[in-house]
Structures are given as structure tokens and as C-alpha cells.
Amino acid sequence: MNIRIRRELAALLLLGGAAMAALTAMLPEPPARQNNVLRVLAPRLQAAAASLSPYGPGLEKELVDLFGHGAGLAVRWVDSHRAGDAWQALEEGDADLLLGVGLEAPQTMGGPVAAGPAYAEYKPYLVHSSQRHGLRTPDELCSAPVLVADNPAMERRLAEGAEGLSCVPETEVGRTSALTPVLATLEENRARFALVDGGRFRQLQPFFARVRPAAELGDSVEYRWFWNLDRSRVADALESFWDCPETGERIADLTEKYYGFLPEETDYYELHVLSEALEDDLPDYVPAIAKAARRNRIDPLLLAAVIFQESRFDPDAVSKTNVRGLMQITQDTASVLGVNRLDPVDSIRGGAKYLRQIWGKLEPLQLDAWNRWFFTLAAYNVGIGHVLDAVELARQMGGTGATWRELKKVLPLLAWEKYYSQTKHGYARGLQAVHYVDSIRYYYYVLHGIVTLGRPEAEHLRPLLGIVSARWPLS
């Protein structure tokens, strides 16, 4: 289920600055103020309104805003519950842009609509309720209606996957293109199968433990933008945007930010352990987490994710390298921080303080907020010296050293003599640091999503809400 970014979109620099200034300069000034508005359709997508994610408003939302800013257009989002209504609005000129995340243009469409390049693709997945059998034989596709969200592409993929069967599968189409109601129906054991876009399912999978993948089915669905050609100024700007090679680099960065931590296969046992820890262990430490988070200006949900990664909320945890306590602090670090690492409250206070100190030391790198936090987490695990070595190595290899996407490729090289022999701080378990950071990013995502979806575990997290600064993660 990896996102495949098109090679022809790959480039070296972020979109913005000179590239977008040049693009904007090529466009004529609109004759009236209303011509500065870009009307965008995004039928019920997490990618455009990422309520589950703590990392921002969503990949598509950021990408649209980036385009709008560069083209001098104010973005206005147009709600559409059903895919058919969205296509009609685009074809009739009631919208300018449709975010085709897993959507395909109807074969009957004859209006003035253009399609951008596919920038990602996912396999369709047949998923099933874990309270029933998975797909044992292909003919079982016909045993009951297969649920699909309102997306004709999924219906076509089901027909493709059923070719050669002795029966014709039925579909039950949802009222909207939202995927959550479909997964909730399986979670509640009110249906056996559903066919889903693998990319969107991957984002929701941690929150539907009773919905399991059964099989890949049919050809991949592509993600691309569609736009109306009647507004030539907007259409020309969109063509230039997708022709601009820096767009690919920006998509790669956003893909890493929003999805780079999602595991290839969901570990349902690990999620069960997390759920139990939230119920049985977290309440004992809520006051200490809240106090440390407030004092050090850290989202307490992120702090809770760090604690779970480090110790599973076990105050007596000891690692192979003799780091101890809830936040696995070394004795030397505990002495510098002035804390007793074996005392749970002190461990939380010291760990949060140490994270904030690392954040401060990274200021000279001039990273954006989330990359800076990801670097901070890596330094908490492997040491700031090794992180700075990786930054320098990334620069020597032609990169910027300013994104986690770069650093997670370079850090593992510090275990190779060819590379660590050139660094100031020498050998490091860089791959372990990469897994460490992405695990915390994943747990943080899960905790945030539990609260957003109102899952039962959210009651244990509720006392930690409202503490984080409105400027987070910038503060």
C-alpha cells in the first residue's frame, strides 16, 4: 500500500519562492475580484480535511493552498457528499477544481474538463469484518452485497475482480463518498465485505480493529486533480503547477508528513496493548503529564506517545543499555536534569524538559515546526550529535538536511563505517532512531484520532485536552 510518487514529478526544491513567483508573473490580472476565487470540491476526504491527523489540515488541503497562494487565488471549499454531484458541478462550471482522490472521471462526461497527472496510486482492498470469515473462495464475493462508498471506481474494480466467477457480486453503495460509515458497518458486524481505496483505508485502519484486509482486488486507483477548462486563467495556472518539477518534491514531503509513519501492516495486538495502557496505566500519570506538557509547551498527547514508545507506561522498565523509568532516561542525563529517573513523576518532568532542551538546540537549523519536532525525537533517542552528523551528511550528499524525509534515509548510514568514519560523533544506530521516531508519530496519530472519533479510550485522554498552545507545534 505504498504511495508511488510519479518519477517525473521528483525534483530538488520545495515549491515556492522564485518558481511560484515566476508562475504568478505569467498570469494576467483578473478583471474583477470574484475572479480571484478558486472553488474546490473534495468529497468527504481526510486528505482535504484531516480531522484525524495532528500534523495539519491534510495533504490535499496544503497542496491546494500552495497552488492558490502561488496563483493569486483565494480558495473556497465547496461541499459535496456524492461523487456524481461533484462531477456534475465541475462539468457545469459550478466548481473549478475537483480533488480526484481515488475518483475517476465518468465515461459519459463530455464537458470541458482536464485531468492532471496521477501523483499517487493505491490498490483497492477487499476488507471484511473480523467477526466473520475472510474471503475463503472467490465465489464468496457473491454471498452478500459488498459495501462501497459512493465511488463508481470501486464498483468497477469489484466487477474487474469478479471476472471469471460463476456469479455476479452485488454492491451496496453508501450515501456519501465518506469511508468511515462503510468501515463502521463492518466494525459493528452488520456486513461481511467492503471494497475500499487502500490509501484511504490505511489512514482509518488503526481505528477499526475489527475490520481486516482480505485481498487486493482489481487495478490500482489513481489520485489526480480534475479542473474545468472554461476559466482559462485557472486552467493555465493548474497546467503550469503540475508541469513545475518542484511540485513533485512538495508532494513527497507532504506524503512523508501525513503518511510516512503508517505501518505496512497494522499490528492489532500492539493497538490492543495501547488501548489497555490508556485504560489501566495512563490515569495514574495524567496530572504529571499535564503539568510537564504545560510547563514545556508540548502537546500532552505527544508526550503520552513518547512514554508509550519508551516504556509502555511501566515505571520499572529497564533497557539493554540500562536506561530506566517511564521515559527511559540515562543516569547522566537524569543528573544533569536534576531528576530521579526511577520516580515516575520525576521521569515525566525530566523527559519533557529534555525534549524541550533539544528543540531549543536545533534552532540554528531553521527547520519548519514538524520537521524540528521529528529531529527532536530522533535526538532524544540517538543523541543530538548523531542527528547533526546526519544533517551534515545529507548536505554532503546534495540534500538540504532540513526534512525528516531526507534524514530518515541518511540516519541508517551512520551504522556503516564508510559514512560514520567521516562524522564527528561516529557510529550510531540510525535505523533504530528512524523506527523510534515513526513509531511515536504513529502513536501520536492514533491518540489524536481516538479523541477525534470519540472512541471509548478517549475518556482517559480527555483531561489532557486543551493544554496545548494554539501556536503548537510552532511554540
Burial 204-218 (b: 16+ CB within 10 A, else e): bbbbbeebbbbbbbb
Distance CA 426, CA 389 (A): 8
State how far Cα 109 lies from the chain centre. 32
Query: How crowded is residue 30: how many other Cβ atoms within 10 Å of its Cβ?
Result: 15
Residue 20 in grid coordinates: 511560484
Residue 295 in grid coordinates: 510547563
Which residues, at least 6 apart from 136, have a Cβ–Cβ distance to it below 8 Å? none
Whether the CB-CB separation of 53 and 249 falls below 8 Å is answered with no
Angle at 42 between CA 259 and CA 465, to 5 degrees: 55
Angle at 311 between CA 305 and CA 313, to 5 degrees: 70
Catalytic residues: 310
Distance CA 415, CA 429 (A): 6
Whether the CB-CB separation of 112 and 229 falls below 8 Å is answered with yes
